[in-house]
Structure formats: structure tokens, C-alpha cells
Amino acid sequence: MCGIVGYIGARDATPIIYNGLKRLEYRGYDSAGIAVLQNGQIEVRREAGKLSGLADLLQKSPISGSLGIGHTRWATHGAPSARNAHPHTGRSGRVVVVQNGIVENFLELREELSSEGVEFKSDTDTETIVHLVEHYLATGIGLEDAARKTFQHIQGANVVVLMSADEPDKIVAARIGNAGGVAIGYGEGEMFAASDVPAILEHTRRVTFLESRQMAVITSGGARIESLDGAPVSAEIHTVAYDPIAAEKGEYRHFMQKEIHEQVRALTDTLAGRVDFERGKIRIPELNLTPELAQRIKKIYITACGTAAYAGMVGKYLIEKIARVPVEVEIGSEFRYRDPIIDGDTVVMAISQSGETADTLAAMEEGRRKGAILWSIVNAIGSQAMRIADGYISMQTGPEIGVASTKAFTAPLIDQYMLAILLADMRGTLDDSTRRALVSDLRLIPDLAGRTLAREADVEKAAHALKDIRGCLYLGRGINMPIAYEGALKLKEISYIHAEGYPAGEMKHGPIALIDEEMPVLCLAPKDPWHEKMISQIQQAKARGGTVIALATDGDEIIRSMADHVLWIPETPWMLSPVVTVLPLQLLAYHIAAIRGLDVDQPRNLAKSVTVE
């Protein structure tokens, strides 16, 4: 997710765009840039790092003009750097583009354009867009038509805003798929385009929004909106309430709630560009995995902390089940103290949203010291855990602001599922039909997640019933045992209620003594290979007077008859079930904390990235 701002009017665009980007910095902050039309030329200033770096650059080398576009980046393709920062110009320097999203067919486009003599100046997918616009302009058509042909040619989910020095009376904006929105702001003799309304609310509250596969030609006097095939669209102009901070959260009370609901999009994004559903194949080029290496790997250590470690515990099930490679999950803060057995055929794979967690980085260093192959699954592009790895998988979820990790937990579950299939495919241990079936199941995920999150009101009701509990046991088995740990951690870290995740099968070896009327038990009992076992677990808890909250699959009448509360999920392939079973637990923890009036996004004593050991 990136932040985009465009301006056309009578005022200086630079400060308007810069301040707008500041309000969007939560959407991405690894590099930024602004382009304006100054004395008939397009002037661009770009800088790696946070927006403050761009401010310093603009101080040293100012630009001004009444037409401009700007961008703050959350890198997906191409590490954060000035050369990969947006805006991007083409060969002529007369056209400039910014994008939010991923051009899925950028590799083919780069080949096509390179064969026409284009020399790419960056590693980004976005640069293909500006060269494509110039390709169509060269046929003698105008900017609007060249842009429309370009939008029809690129594939993926994209928001694109562009302008040209040769047609300085307009900005062109388009939305293709769900790569975030495009808000068009109506001022007096001036107009705005932005990926989110906070960027422009100080200038206007009259806003219209592009729908998917729509484009807008924006002049200082207004906007003409049409579908990509040229049909005119009459878009309603809304008047937006003015509360910049609230607006950054959209219609949500907290970033955590917003990010819980963003998971449908984040899961779609983490799949983007990696799944060939036709051939039932996975590709993760940035992992640098070859068949030779895949066949050589003898063991994988997954190392991480907190929520990320629980994601790794699910990954262990997936990689061992699908790829038959031994996996051990190691807490980052312990790994380097136990003199682990590592050789050149061992992989040490870190999972880290921030990519900067000190304990996890130290574990990676231990792996490096002992000659391991280093991989990482990270969200922050350009972070240390990405830079020092031999290969990586980016979660591609967009920035996660809430301290309690949600989308950066579910995305790596999918990433490890894809990794397991890729590994097995390269090791030749997966027959074609099984592989195709596993790949095909990925198609179900965004819809299953969306349908589960749509049941938030039911979870909120359960939260009201449980808001005063003083403790809770979370029990799970098999692939959903780590979800018991993760669900308990969510409750602990934002509601400050003690909760303990436990392997359900272990309860009879002692902890069952804890269960009474005062100790509620949350049992994860979806239709998976351990379902029967969880039913007897619920019976054991009920027999001791425990209140049971069960997580169950739609239509499970046995569970309905036994449990005091049921959190329902749709039927889900069991190997992908953790992605879905965790969602009601995220919502349950969120609503209990919100009902208790706690600081959900910045809980006491915690930090988003623990960069100390």
C-alpha cells in the first residue's frame, strides 16, 4: 500500500502534495517523491527513507509549479531507494507516473519494452507503465487515449496517477482492481487526487471515489470519469466529515480493527504474482530457490518471536506435510544460545513483520556464522532481515500500524503454504494432481476470510459476555494448536487479561486442574483431522464446570449442543484452516479490549518492533 497525492490548480503544488503525503505516511514510508511541472519541464525529487528525507531534499533543491503528483512508497518490487522511488519518468522525460499496487505482467512488459529499445532505470513494476504510455503516445494519440490503452494492457490491482508536460491542463487517474482507492477532491478552481481522503481534507471535503476499472481526466475545473472502455460514468460527490486522524482509520475505531479487516486484501496481495492457477504452479523469484538447492536442503529452522513464531509453528506442519523436509521452530531469543546443529544444507528462515526484531536478527546471524542458508519472510521491504537473507518472501500486506500483529500473522501462513508447495515441486515429491489441488485451494482464501470477518457482530456479542473474565485457556490440536497460542497472545497483549494457549491433548497431564466456573476455555474445534479429539476436550472441560467458547465449522450441531458460545467459520481446507480460525480470535481480543476502553493500537509496555534484546 502506498500513498498518492495529485494537484492541479492555481497554487504551488509542492507543499500541497508534500503535506498530503505526510498524512498518508502510515500507508508506506520507505521512500517518497514529488514531480511538478515547472517552466514547461517535469521536475522530480525522490529520496529513500521517510518523508523527512524528501523534505530535506526539497529544502536544498526546491521545485514549484501548479501541476504535480507525489508518492510515499511501501515497496513491493525493487528495494527502497531513490532510483526505485516514485514518481517515474520515461525516456522523453515528458510523462511521469505514480502507482499503488502491482503490475502482475510487468516481467512480460519489461521484455516487450526492452525489445523496443527501452532501458529501464529502476527495478520497479511501475516504470513499465510510463514507458507503455509513451509507447502509445508515439502512435500520435493524446494522453487520455494513451493512458486508457495502457490501463487496458496492464494486469493486476493498480491505482495509477499520471501527467504530461505536453498536456499540462490535466491529470489522469485510474483504479484497476482493489489496490486501494482513488479519491478525487473538488476545490474552487483546483482539483485533487489522493489514495486516501486524509491527504486532501484540509483543502476540500467534496470528494468522489473511483470504482474498479474506472479512470478520471482531472482538470482545474473538475473531473470527467469513465470506464476503461470509454463509457461515461456519473460519480456521486460526497461531503466527507473532517477528522484527519479518524480518516486515516477510515470507518474503523482503531488501526488494529482496520488491519483485521484488511486481511482479505493482504491475503490477496501476498498471493499476487506468485500463483499460476492454470498450471497449478507457485513461483517466488525473490527466494532464489533452485531445484538443486531444494533437493540439497536437509533441515529448516524457522526462527521468530511472538506472533511470528506462532506463524512458524503452523509453517512447520505445512512444510513437513507437503514437502517432507524436517522443520524445527526456534524462538529467536533462545536459538543462538543452544549451539544449534547447522551445516551448509540447513536453512535458517526468519519470520518478521518489521524485519528488525533484535532477537530474530541475532538468530539469523547465528545461522550465518554456522554456514546456513538464510531465508526470511518479512513485511518491511529493505529491512535488515530482508537484506541479510540469501532469499526472501515479502508478505506484501502493506504497513501494519497496530502493535498487535494481525495481517502480518496470516500472510506468512499463506507464504509458508506456497513455500511448501514450491519446495515439494522442486524436490519432485508432489504428484501433479495433488499439487494442482493444493494450489487451487488458495483461490478460496480471500472469500473464506471475508465471510468470516463479516461475522464480526457475533464475535462482538461473545466479547460482551466475556469482557470481565480474569483468565482464559485457549486449547487447540494439530495444525490449529499454534492458533491457540496466538489467540491467547492477542488477548493478553491488548486486554491485559491473562490467557494461556495449550496443546489440548496435554490438559489431562495437569493443567485441567485449572478448570472451574471461573476459568473459561476457548476450544478450537473446526472440521479438521483433530475434530473428534476436540469434542472430547470440550466434554472434559464442561464436566468440570468450565464455560466453553468453541470455534466450529458452520453446521456443526454437536459443538452447538455442547458449547456455551460458538464462533462459527465456513468450511475450510484443513491445511489452510489456521488462516481462518485465527480471525474470530483476533476480533474477540480486539472487542474485549475495546469494550474495556484500553489503548488497542498502542498497548502498555509494548512496541511495534522490539529492536532490543
- Residue 452 has what DSSP assignment? H
Per CB under 6 A, does 357 bind ligand AGP? yes
Closest CB 613 distance from ligand AGP, rounded Å: 12
- Using the contact rule CB under 6 A, the part of the chain among 5-13, 107-115, 402-410, 561-569 near ligand AGP is 402-410
Cell triple for residue 195?
489514495
Closest CB 494 distance from ligand AGP, rounded Å: 8
Which one, 357 or 577, has the nearer CB to ligand AGP?
Answer: 357
Question: Which alpha helices (H) appear in 301-406, and where do they start and end?
Answer: 306-323, 332-335, 358-369, 384-387
Contact 6, 17 (CB under 8 A): yes
Q: Which long-range contacts (CB under 8 A, 24 or more apart) does 82-85 make?
A: 82/31, 82/33, 82/46, 82/47, 82/48, 83/46, 83/121, 83/122, 83/123, 84/31, 84/122, 84/123, 84/124, 85/31, 85/32, 85/33, 85/46, 85/47, 85/48
- Using the contact rule CB under 6 A, the part of the chain among 166-174, 193-201, 305-313, 337-345 near ligand AGP is 305-313
Which one, 228 or 598, has the nearer CB to ligand AGP?
Answer: 598
Which one, 81 or 405, has the nearer CB to ligand AGP?
Answer: 405
Per CB under 6 A, does 396 bind ligand AGP? no
- Is 370 annotated in the active site? no
Residue 385: alpha-carbon gap to chain centroid: 17
- Using the contact rule CB under 6 A, the part of the chain among 85-93, 138-146, 303-311, 592-600 near ligand AGP is 303-311
β-partners of residue 46 are 33
Q: Which residue has the cell 516504470?
A: 127
Which one, 217 or 385, has the nearer CB to ligand AGP?
Answer: 385
Question: Which alpha helices (H) appear in 525-612, and where do they start and end?
Answer: 531-543, 557-562, 577-595
Closest CB 408 distance from ligand AGP, rounded Å: 6
- Using the contact rule CB under 6 A, the part of the chain among 209-217, 306-314, 335-343, 459-467 near ligand AGP is 306-314
Contact 394, 419 (CB under 8 A): no
Closest CB 314 distance from ligand AGP, rounded Å: 14
Of 81, 352, 540, 553, which one interacts with ligand AGP (CB under 6 A)?
Answer: 352
Per CB under 6 A, does 404 bind ligand AGP? yes
Which one, 85 or 305, has the nearer CB to ligand AGP?
Answer: 305
Contact 477, 504 (CB under 8 A): yes
Per CB under 6 A, does 306 bind ligand AGP? yes
β-partners of residue 184 are 193, 208
Which one, 546 or 603, has the nearer CB to ligand AGP?
Answer: 603
Give the pairing of strands 88-89 and 95-103.
Answer: antiparallel
Show contacts with ligand AGP in window 225-284 (CB under 6 A). Answer: none
Per CB under 6 A, does 305 bind ligand AGP? yes
Per CB under 6 A, does 418 bind ligand AGP? no
- Using the contact rule CB under 6 A, the part of the chain among 26-34, 128-136, 211-219, 299-307 near ligand AGP is 299-307
Per CB under 6 A, does 495 bind ligand AGP? no
Closest CB 486 distance from ligand AGP, rounded Å: 8
Residues contacting residue 22 through CB under 8 Å, at least 6 positions apart: 51
Closest CB 609 distance from ligand AGP, rounded Å: 5
Per CB under 6 A, does 547 bind ligand AGP? no
Per CB under 6 A, does 410 bind ligand AGP? no
The secondary structure of 85-115 as a DSSP string is SSPEE-SSSSEEEEEEEEETTHHHHHHHHHH
- Using the contact rule CB under 6 A, the part of the chain among 36-44, 221-229, 232-240, 346-354 near ligand AGP is 346-354
- Using the contact rule CB under 6 A, the part of the chain among 47-55, 77-85, 255-263, 350-358 near ligand AGP is 350-358
Closest CB 286 distance from ligand AGP, rounded Å: 18
Q: Which of 50, 533, 542, 608 is catalytic?
A: 608
φ, ψ for residue 56, nearest 5 deg: -60, -45
Per CB under 6 A, does 353 bind ligand AGP? yes
Q: Which of 2, 305, 472, 523 is catalytic?
A: 2
- Is 608 annotated in the active site? yes
At residue 248, what is the residue type?
A: E
- Using the contact rule CB under 6 A, the part of the chain among 120-128, 205-213, 347-355, 583-591 near ligand AGP is 347-355
Contact 387, 35 (CB under 8 A): no
Per CB under 6 A, does 609 bind ligand AGP? yes
What is the radius of gyration, based on Cα positions, of the chain?
25
The Cα 162–Cα 141 span in angstroms is 16
Q: Which long-range contacts (CB under 8 A, 24 or more apart) does 227-236 make?
A: 228/148, 228/151, 228/152, 228/174, 228/176, 229/152, 230/148, 235/184, 235/208, 235/209, 235/210, 235/211, 236/208
Show contacts with ligand AGP in window 5-24 (CB under 6 A). Answer: none
Q: Per-residue x/- marks for ligand AGP, 117-146, CB under 6 A?
A: ------------------------------
Per CB under 6 A, does 493 bind ligand AGP? yes
Q: Which residue has the cell 502493506?
A: 398
Burial (0-12, 13-18, 19+ Cβ within 10 Å), 434: middle
Residue 430: alpha-carbon gap to chain centroid: 29
Closest CB 603 distance from ligand AGP, rounded Å: 9
Closest CB 53 distance from ligand AGP, rounded Å: 23
3-state per-residue secondary structure call for 140-204: CCCHHHHHHHHHHHCCEEEEEEEEECCCCCCEEEEEECCCCCCEEEECCCCEEEECCHHHCCCCC
Q: Per-residue x/- marks for ligand AGP, 87-106, CB under 6 A?
A: --------------------
Cell triple for residue 260?
483485521
Cell triple for residue 610?
522490539
Per CB under 6 A, does 354 bind ligand AGP? yes
Per CB under 6 A, does 403 bind ligand AGP? yes
Per CB under 6 A, does 595 bind ligand AGP? no
Residues taking part in catalysis: 2, 608
Which residues contact ligand AGP by CB under 6 A?
A: 305-308, 352-354, 357, 360, 403-405, 493, 609-610
